[in-house]
């Protein structure tokens, strides 16, 4: 049993009184166990206390305890929480010995241990390198660059196939795969082999194979740790589970802590079904529950509970509020995005200017952040943007519009012509433009360079260039905002996007959001110079906002990155049709492993349960189907 003394210290020094449910988990020391928890129920807190119990009772040495999770952010969070709970209770030197790690970093260390004395250690390709390798292969095979959604799908399928090599019976031929996927997959595997490289999935697979087939390695790691705890176990993939199992086969002191309702990484191979596999593998495993939500008000818990219960195939578990306080849950619809964002800025100024650090604005995709950032700047509201990359800044639609405007203002800019020539029906081949590109003088007018180098092979090309020069002349008389419409309507760009959408099945409404945003950003900008300045400024703002971490600033985050965080005031914004659930989830992923639509609901649930007290759900134009559902839930609760 946990020492009474420790319980007192936690209560007195840390103001933490463990519940009966939490105590049961803290005291459950030996053997396999599964804790099924709900959001805000103190999973992380309880794991920390269980580790603290093992150390203070000297059940094992701190270095023989391994706490695993699935992302660096989550590992850092547990480590920090542990330090904050046990500083002045456990000596710092002892604390430092406890191993908190991601499963990937653990697998990496097992491989390094194995390959220690060999020369031929495979090097690991990180996600960035893997992305560019896939783009390169896709280009080789399809003679065009992949769209981001295609790339995501390919990466997800590669990972799905390689993770499931473990099952031996995987058959993807029955699925409707992205065209040329088979060739891409083969080439990708071949390049890795030739260059002695492995990706993160291979790393896990290799670690699993070595632990399974090379007994001394398994013994080393089995003997290294006496207790293994896995946080966020709903994010586990099959291969990760098998690795963990091999490391605990001797003592079976393995505790998984999971909330299947917060499983949001299906596209990366995580699968909450594995929790069922665990229960059938370990028949003696004890199942425990954390059902009380300590974070949110009763209002939020009850609404979130009914919302997530609409998902089929969940583990049955209770979700109860600890905090019996009622709070207002505000659902608001706006005509336009700008009305939504001005409302947020005003509301923060009016009510939360002293609680900026305890306020978050969450969105499904980073495209929703751009206009918001513009308004936060305008209202002088400091923010911290925790997204690694806002894709808008390198999106092709933004780049195409910029290219045509730049070319209209500066005819020497052949790079811009190169960017857009095949999207505006110019009857040239890549090599024709490349020839002028390579031989043109830097300050020479692009059209004159075509004439000088005799780069027209036929009349059609000559006329097309003449027409383009005329169009650019017209476009240069317009301000950037008017230029967008000219580009769309008079230069075929609208048709180009419609065709692209038809061919790829990628919804035109997603392109329309980019166009709308470009219209917004160019509004009232008198010249290309002021417009470029505005975009550059936004980019710098996002970059500089990283310095506002842990300062008095509002947090901006995607729903995915908000997992594990909590805020007194939370705005979930752009809860629109086609944004959440997202269009790709509605058309269903080709990855057979997970149901994307169920995962969208879980994502929304993660968002709802970040709010401690004040929760806003905002939409504009057409609201998401979730808005109607949430309103019905609220009405039902009120009427009962
Ligand atoms: N016994 C308790 N008494 C009071 N507050 C508690 C207790 N246990 C946890 N909490 C508080 O509840 C909140 C949620 O805890 P924690 O973040 O550990 O939950 P979680 O289950 O990991 O959350 P999630 O999975 O939703 O991110 C924290 O503010 C924590 O301090």
Q: Are residues 182 and 216 in the same domain?
A: no
Handedness of CA 599, 601, 603, 605 (dihedral sign): negative
Residues 517 and 470 both lie in one domain: yes
* Closest ligand 1 atom to Cα of 565: 27
Torsion from C-alpha of 67, 70, 71, 73, nearest 10 degrees = -40
- Kindly tell me if the per-residue pLDDT of 65 is higher than 90: yes
Residue 231: is its pLDDT beyond 80? yes
Output the residue whose Cα is nearest ligand 1's atom 14.
40
Pair 413, 514 in one domain: yes
The 3-state DSSP class for residue 374 equals helix
Q: Ligand 1 atom 5: the closest Cα is on which residue?
A: 294
- Pocket mutation for ligand 1, best pick of 17, 40, 233 (most atoms within 8 Å of C-beta): 40
pLDDT of residue 273: 83
What percent of the chain is modeled with pLDDT above 90? 61
Question: Is position 583 within any domain?
Answer: yes
For ligand 1, mutation pick of 21, 25, 294 (most atoms within 8 Å of CB): 294
Per-residue pLDDT, averaged over 32-51, amounts to: 96
* pLDDT at site 229: 96
What pLDDT sits at residue 133? 92
Cα of 498 from ligand 1 centre, angstroms? 48
Please write the tens of the pLDDT for every residue from 94-113.
Answer: 999 999 999 999 998 888 88
Provide the pLDDT for residue 251. 87
Residue reference for tokens 């794991």: 47
Is 361 domain-assigned?
yes
Rounded to a whole number of angstroms, the CA Rg of the chain reads 28
pLDDT of 174 above 60 = no
Q: How far is the CA of 293 from the centre of ligand 1 (A)?
A: 7
For the segment 479-486, the average pLDDT, to the nearest whole number, is 95
**Do 183 and 219 lie in a common domain?**
no
Q: Per-residue pLDDT tens for 387-400?
A: 877 888 888 899 99
Q: Which residues line the pocket of ligand 1, CB cutoff 6 A?
A: 16-19, 22, 37, 39-45, 259, 262, 294-295, 564, 566, 609
Count other Cβ atoms within 10 Å, centred on residue 626: 25
Ligand 1 center to residue 566 CA distance, Å? 9
Average pLDDT of span 413-439: 88
Q: What is the Cα 560 distance to its own chain's centre?
A: 5
Domain boundary (173, 195, 217) is at 195
What is the predicted pLDDT for the residue at 167? 64
Rounded Cα distance, 22 and 41, in Å: 9
As a whole number of angstroms, the distance between CA 442 and CA 559 comes to 46
- Segment 223-236 mean pLDDT: 93
Would residue 526 count as lying in a domain?
yes
Token code pair at residue 443: 């300050």
pLDDT of residue 169: 56
pLDDT score recorded for residue 505: 62
Angle between helices 396-409 and 528-544 (to 10 degrees): 140
| 295 CA to centre of ligand 1 in angstroms | 6
pLDDT at 160: 76
Q: For residue 313, is it within any domain?
A: no
Which residues contribute to the annotated binding site for ATP?
37-44
Checking if the pLDDT of 442 tops 70, the result is yes
* Least-confidence region, from 137-146, 376-385, 473-482, 631-640: 137-146
Q: Which domain holds residue 496?
A: 394-532
User: Could you tell me the distance, in angstroms and rounded to a whole number, from the CA of residue 41 to the centre of ligand 1?
Assistant: 5
Query: Rounded mean pLDDT of 249-277?
Result: 88
- From the alpha carbon of 606, which atom of ligand 1 is closest? 26
pLDDT at 504 over 70: no
Please tell me whether residue 198 adopts helix, strand or coil conformation.
strand
Residue 353 pLDDT? 96
pLDDT on residue 96: 94
Q: Determine the pLDDT at residue 419.
A: 87
Res 589 pLDDT > 60:
no
Quote the ligand 1 centre to 570 CA distance (angstroms): 17
Residue 147 has pLDDT above 90, yes or no: no
Q: What is the CATH number of the domain that holds 592?
A: 3.40.50.300
Residue ending a domain, choose from 168, 195, 222: 195
Rounded distance from Cα 42 to ligand 1 centre (Å): 3
pLDDT at residue 173 in the model: 57
475: pLDDT strictly greater than 80: yes
For residues 421-449, average pLDDT: 88
- Tell me the C-alpha distance between 14 and 34, whole Å: 27
| pLDDT computed for residue 172 by the predictor | 57
Q: Greater confidence, 296 or 267?
A: 296
Residue in this structure with the two tokens 């969940």, named with its chain if needed: 314
Q: Are residues 140 and 267 in the same domain?
A: no
How confident is the model over 163-173, as a mean pLDDT? 62
What's the pLDDT score for residue 587? 65
Q: Could you tell me if residue 311 is inside a domain?
A: no
CATH number, domain containing residue 491: 1.10.486
Q: Is residue 518 domain-shared with residue 415, that is, in the same domain?
A: yes
Predicted local distance difference test score (pLDDT) of residue 119:
65
How far from chain centre, in Å, is Cα 372? 19
- For residues 105 and 9, membership in a common domain is answered with yes
Taking the C-alpha atoms of residue 595 and residue 180, their distance in angstroms, rounded to an integer, is 24
Cα gap 500→497, rounded to integer Å: 5
pLDDT at 591: 55
Is the same domain home to 524 and 433? Answer: yes
Which of 18, 45, 259 has most ligand 1 atoms within 8 Å of its beta carbon, as the pocket-test mutant? Answer: 45
Compute, in angstroms, the gap from residue 44 CA to the centroid of ligand 1. 7
What pLDDT band is residue 590 in, cutting at 50, 70 and 90? low
Atom number, ligand 1, closest to the C-alpha of residue 294: 12
pLDDT > 60? residue 205: yes
Atom of ligand 1 nearest to the CA of 290: 21
Residue 69 pLDDT more than 80?
yes
Query: What would the mean pLDDT of 36-58 be, rounded to a whole number?
Result: 95
Residues 6+ apart with CB under 8 A from 262: 39, 232, 234, 563, 602, 605, 606
Pick the residue whose CA is nearest to atom 23 on ligand 1.
Answer: 40
Nearest by Cα to 606 from 70, 40, 22, 36: 40
Note whether 260 and 272 are within 8 A (CB).
yes
pLDDT at 574 exceeding the cut of 90: yes
Whole-number pLDDT of residue 224: 92
259 Cα nearest atom in ligand 1: 25
Mean pLDDT, rounded, for 594-621:
94
The confidence score (pLDDT) of residue 91 equals: 93
Q: Residue 572: is its pLDDT beyond 90?
A: yes
Contact 596, 585 (CB under 8 A): yes
Mean pLDDT, rounded, for 510-526:
92
Domain count for the chain: 4
Atom of ligand 1 nearest to the CA of 81: 18
The protein residue whose alpha carbon is closest to atom 6 in ligand 1 is: 294
Residue 380: the pLDDT is 96
Please indicate, yes or no, if residue 302 is contained in any of the structural domains: no
Please give the number of the atom of ligand 1 that sits closest to the Cα of 563: 27
- Which element (helix H / strand E) includes 135? helix 127-142
CA-nearest residue for atom 25, ligand 1, is 39
Q: Please enumerate, by residue number, every residue annotated as part of a binding site.
A: 37-44
Residue 418 sits in the same domain as residue 461: yes
Judgement on whether residues 277 and 161 belong to the same structural domain of the protein: no
Q: Is the pLDDT of residue 351 over 90?
A: yes
Does residue 218 sit in the same domain as residue 168? no
pLDDT of residue 529: 87
Clarify whether residues 71 and 99 are in a common domain: yes
How confident is the prediction for the chain on average, in pLDDT?
Answer: 90
Tell me the CA–centroid distance for residue 292 and ligand 1, in Å.
9
Stretch 139-166: mean pLDDT = 79
Which pLDDT score, from 0 to 100, does residue 156 have?
A: 78
By percentage, how much of the chain surpasses pLDDT 70? 95
Here the ipTM equals 0.97
In this structure, is residue 354 part of a structural domain? yes
Judged against a pLDDT cut of 80, whether residue 586 lies above it is answered with no
Q: Is the pLDDT of residue 170 over 60?
A: no
Question: How far is residue 606 from each of residues 318, 360, 583, 597, 626, measured CA to CA in Å?
Answer: 17, 13, 19, 14, 14
Distance in Å, CA 3 to ligand 1 centroid: 21
Average pLDDT value for residue range 115-121: 72
> 315 in a domain, yes or no?
no
Assign 117 a pLDDT band (cuts: 50, 70, 90): low
């Amino acid at each position: 049993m946990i020492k009474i003394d420790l319980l007192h210290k936690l209560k007195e020094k840390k103001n933490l009184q463990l519940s009966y449910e939490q105590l049961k988990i803290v005291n459950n020391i030996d053997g396999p166990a599964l804790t099924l928890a709900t959001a805000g129920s103190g999973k992380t807190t309880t794991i920390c206390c269980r580790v603290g119990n093992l150390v203070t009772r000297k059940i094992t040495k701190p270095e023989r305890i391994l706490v695993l999770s699935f992302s660096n952010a989550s590992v850092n969070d547990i480590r920090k929480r542990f330090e904050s709970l046990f500083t002045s209770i456990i000596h710092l030197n002892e604390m430092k010995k406890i191993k908190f790690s991601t499963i990937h970093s653990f697998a990496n260390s097992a491989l390094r241990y194995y390959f220690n004395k060999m020369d031929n250690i495979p090097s690991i390709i990180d996600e960035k390198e893997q992305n560019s390798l896939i783009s390169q292969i896709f280009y080789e095979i399809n003679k065009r660059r992949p769209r981001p959604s295609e790339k995501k799908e390919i990466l997800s399928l590669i990972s799905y196939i390689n993770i499931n090599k473990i099952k031996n019976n995987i058959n993807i031929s029955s699925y409707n795969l992205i065209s040329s996927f088979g060739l891409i997959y083969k080439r990708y595997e071949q390049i890795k082999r030739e260059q002695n490289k492995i990706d993160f999935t291979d790393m896990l697979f290799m670690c699993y194979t070595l632990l399974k087939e090379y007994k001394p390695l398994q013994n080393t790691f089995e003997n290294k740790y006496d207790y293994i705890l896995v946080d966020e176990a709903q994010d586990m993939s099959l291969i990760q589970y098998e690795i963990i199992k091999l490391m605990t086969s001797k003592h079976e002191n393995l505790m998984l802590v999971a909330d299947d309702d917060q499983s949001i990484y299906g596209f990366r191979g995580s699968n909450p079904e594995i929790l069922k596999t665990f229960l059938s593998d370990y028949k003696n495993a004890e199942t425990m529950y954390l059902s009380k939500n300590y974070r949110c008000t009763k209002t939020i818990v009850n609404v979130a509970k009914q919302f997530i219960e609409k998902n089929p195939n969940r583990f049955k578990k209770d979700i109860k509020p600890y905090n019996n306080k009622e709070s207002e849950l505000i659902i608001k619809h706006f005509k336009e995005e700008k009305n939504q964002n001005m409302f947020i800025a005003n509301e923060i100024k009016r009510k939360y200017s002293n609680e900026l650090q305890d306020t978050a604005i969450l969105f499904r995709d980073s495209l929703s952040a751009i206009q918001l950032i513009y308004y936060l700047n305008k209202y002088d509201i400091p923010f911290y943007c925790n997204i690694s990359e806002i894709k808008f800044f390198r999106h092709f639609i933004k780049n195409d519009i910029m290219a045509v405007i730049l070319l209209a203002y500066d005819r020497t800019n052949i790079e811009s012509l190169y960017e857009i020539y095949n999207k505006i029906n110019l009857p040239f081949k890549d090599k024709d433009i490349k020839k002028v590109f390579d031989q043109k003088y830097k300050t020479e007018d692009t059209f004159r360079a075509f004439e000088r180098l005799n780069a027209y092979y036929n009349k059609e090309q000559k006329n097309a260039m003449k027409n383009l020069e005329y169009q650019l002349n017209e476009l240069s008389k317009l301000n950037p905002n008017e230029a967008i419409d000219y580009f769309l309507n008079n230069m075929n760009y609208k048709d180009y996007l419609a065709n692209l959408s038809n061919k790829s099945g990628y919804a035109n409404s997603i392109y329309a959001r980019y166009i709308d945003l470009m219209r917004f950003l160019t509004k009232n900008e008198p010249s290309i110079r002021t417009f470029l300045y505005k975009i550059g400024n936004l980019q710098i703002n996002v970059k500089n906002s990283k310095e506002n971490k842990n300062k008095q600033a509002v947090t901006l985050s995607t729903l995915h990155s908000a997992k594990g965080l909590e805020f007194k005031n939370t705005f979930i914004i752009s809860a629109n049709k086609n944004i959440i659930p997202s269009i790709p989830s509605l058309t269903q992923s080709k990855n057979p492993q997970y149901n994307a639509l169920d995962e969208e609901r879980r994502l929304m649930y993660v968002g709802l349960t970040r709010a401690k007290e004040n929760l806003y759900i905002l939409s504009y134009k057409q609201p998401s189907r979730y808005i109607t559902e949430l309103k019905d839930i609220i009405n039902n609760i009120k009427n009962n």
